[in-house]
Structure 1
């Protein structure tokens, strides 16, 4: 059984945007709105985690001797 491909950051962001627009329209049954809201919250958590990981990666600079040091933005 093939594993499901993980969605990219951009795909998750686009899906979250669609959910927000759907909920803002007000044309969603309460039960569906709750389900969409929960789905949106899970996507939001994934996106935040991805951004946090990217920030941690960008904050580190690899020195010539391959040691990592924290970036002290000047």
Structure 2
């Protein structure tokens, strides 16, 4: 299996890797219940680990999220 998990998603969990059994165990941490990132007025907004709402990036085109300028 091949794949990628975004850092903003994986940061919501504490995880343990067991290479012998080829397992990864995820346990939700304190940021698990924070709302997911969202776009508002041309900016990508999200919550930091303290629960403070922050601007993460400026969106060049509100309909095209892959064009981000990280602030």
Normalized against structure 1, the TM-score is what?
A: 0.20
Larger fraction in helix: 1
Larger fraction in strand: 2
Which has the greater radius of gyration? 1
Higher relative contact order (CA 8 A, sep 6+): 1
Normalized against structure 2, the TM-score is what?
A: 0.20
